[in-house]
């Protein structure tokens, strides 16, 4: 990776004096981590240097971050740098907490999870899909639990996270409008009336991107401390960007005379049955699947096929949520309005 800029890994925290960071970058390290372990001072740094697994993850993150920065415009790179610094402040707090062992956790296992989560986010930054280069914007906020409770996703803390894609280039009226739409979606999924003991994550991720179609999914998750589990909502959104931004319609996907409205409910139900036993779920599951199947507002376009998902209780109960169901493009290709939609691209999956 380039050493022209300090790698924004756990070592080069925003709180670390710039001179120290630059010295660390200039040093020739014999460690697997992205920084010189001889200069490690914080608990997080020492934990990374003591773990082969974490050192490898730290180095991989430095490489992925550098790749993304080099693929973005100067404005996009600055936005990603701000996101990385927000993540650094977040993870060094929650993984160094005195409460870290409450559920049998350790600083190492906490850091490993957070590294994997962040690598998945970075996989959506600085990537070219179709005619567009996308960035990924993330921000994190963390405060101590007001009553000292240890519930929630991060013991001892109340956390808020938001993440969303942006088109870095080309910038035109349609891409600018789409970018603004992602920010409005975040606002719509925030609850400003939440009590101060609720964790909240709003995550907008890319599905498929074609020549002029962008598909996204928004997952809004909340965990009120003291409750048995969190809840979540899912919503897909599909837009045609060219020549002007508009909502995607069923006619953009299926030929009007293909009979898709009658066939898709059965195709989705059969896809579900291939991985589930219908006898184990109430009738509400089949009802939810068949109701969502012909609704363009429920579709997420993915490289694998057309997908539908459900919120925590949309299929009748929390435990019986059917999860994402995908009908492969090969099963619906004869019905497509434009066969090349089946060749759309999605963001890479971060390696585990």
Residue 211 in tokens: 């020549």
> Of 4 and 280, which is predicted with more confidence?
280
Residue 240 in tokens: 């045609």
Residue 275 in tokens: 């991985």
Q: For residue 152, what are the CA distances in angstroms to 60, 142, 145, 198?
A: 29, 12, 9, 8
pLDDT at 31: 43
d(CA 28, CA 31): 9
Is the CB of residue 179 less than 8 Å from the CB of residue 166?
yes
Cβ burial of 85 (10 Å; 0-12, 13-18, 19+) is: middle
Is the pLDDT score of 19 beyond 50?
A: no
Q: What residues pair up with 254 in beta bridges, in sequence order?
A: 336
CATH 3.50.50.60 fits 128-250, yes or no: no
Helices and strands counted in the chain (H then E): 10, 10
A 10 A CB-CB count for 284 gives 15
d(CA 264, CA 255): 13
Half-sphere exposure of 8 (CA within 13 A, CB side): 25
Sign of CA dihedral 163, 169, 175, 176: positive
Is the CB of residue 322 less than 8 Å from the CB of residue 313?
no
Single pTM value for the model: 0.87
DSSP state of 15: T
d(CA 334, CA 110): 47
pLDDT at 191: 61
pLDDT tens per residue across span 92-128:
888 888 777 777 788 999 999 999 999 999 999 999 9
Is the pLDDT score of 70 beyond 50?
A: yes
| Mean pLDDT, residues 319-338 | 94
Is the pLDDT score of 41 beyond 80?
A: no
Q: How confident is the model at residue 2 (pLDDT cuts 50, 70, 90)?
A: very low
DSSP E strands in 210-296: the ranges are 213-224, 231-240, 246-247
């Amino acid at each position: 990776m380039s050493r022209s800029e300090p790698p924004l890994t756990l070592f080069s925290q925003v709180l670390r004096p710039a001179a120290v960071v630059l010295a660390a970058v200039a040093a020739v390290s014999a460690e697997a981590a992205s920084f010189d372990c001889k200069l490690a001072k914080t608990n997080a740094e020492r934990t990374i240097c003591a773990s082969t697994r974490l050192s490898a993850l730290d180095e991989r993150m430095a490489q992925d971050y550098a790749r993304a920065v080099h693929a973005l415009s100067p404005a996009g790179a600055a936005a990603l740098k701000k996101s990385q610094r927000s993540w650094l402040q977040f993870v060094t707090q929650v993984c160094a907490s005195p409460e870290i062992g409450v559920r049998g956790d350790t600083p190492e296992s906490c850091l490993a999870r957070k590294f994997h989560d962040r690598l998945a986010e970075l996989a959506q930054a600085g990537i070219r899909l179709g005619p567009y280069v996308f960035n990924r914007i993330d921000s994190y906020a963390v405060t101590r639990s007001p009553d000292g409770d240890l519930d929630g996703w991060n013991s001892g803390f109340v956390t808020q996270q938001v993440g969303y894609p942006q088109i870095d280039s080309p910038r035109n009226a349609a891409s600018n409008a789409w970018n603004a739409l992602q920010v409005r979606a975040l606002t719509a999924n925030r609850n400003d009336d939440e009590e101060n003991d609720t964790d909240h994550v709003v995550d907008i991720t890319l599905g498929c991107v074609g020549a002029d179609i962008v598909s996204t999914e928004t997952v809004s998750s909340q965990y009120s401390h003291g409750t048995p589990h969190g809840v979540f909502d899912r919503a897909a959104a599909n837009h045609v960007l060219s020549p002007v931004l508009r909502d995607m319609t069923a006619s953009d996907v299926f030929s009007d005379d293909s009979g898709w409205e009658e066939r898709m409910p059965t195709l989705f139900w059969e896809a579900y049955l291939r991985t589930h036993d219908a006898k184990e779920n109430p009738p509400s599951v089949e009802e939810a699947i068949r109701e969502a199947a012909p609704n363009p507002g429920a579709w997420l376009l993915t490289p694998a096929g057309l997908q539908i998902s459900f919120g925590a209780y949309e299929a009748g109960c929390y435990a019986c949520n059917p999860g994402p169901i995908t009908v492969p493009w090969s099963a619906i290709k004869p019905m497509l309005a434009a066969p090349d939609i089946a060749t759309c691209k999605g963001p890479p999956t971060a390696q585990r």
